[in-house]
Amino acid sequence: DLDHTRVLGSTLEEIAKEKGGIYKNADACFAIGTNTSSVLTVLRECAKTEASKDLVVVDCNDCDDDDVQRRRHQRRQLTLPKNVPLGLAGSHQRINALLAMNLCRAASMKQADLDDNAYETYCYKTLSAASYFPGRCQHVSIDSKKDDDDECPSTRTTMNLYLDGAHTPISLKATVAWYKQQQQQQHNDL
pLDDT for the residue 104: 77
pTM over 0.95: no
**CA atoms of 32 and 172, how far apart (whole Å):** 19
pLDDT for the residue 45: 93
pLDDT for the residue 153: 59
Q: Is the dihedral of CA 70, 74, 78, 83 positive or negative?
A: negative
pLDDT for the residue 107: 72
Burial of 115 (0-12, 13-18, 19+ CB in 10 A): exposed
Alpha-helical regions (H) of the chain: 5-8, 12-20, 37-46, 61-64, 68-75, 93-109, 116-130, 169-189
pLDDT for the residue 69: 46
153-163 pLDDT per residue, tens: 566 678 888 88
Task: Please name the residues in contact with 163: beta carbons below 8 A apart, sequence gap of 6 or more.
Answer: 134, 135, 137, 138, 139, 140
27-47 pLDDT per residue, tens: 888 998 888 899 999 999 999
pLDDT for the residue 102: 81
Q: Give percent helix, percent strand, percent coil of the chain, each to the nearest 5.
A: 50, 15, 35
Residues in the chain, pLDDT under 70:
1-3, 60-77, 109-116, 125-132, 145-156, 190
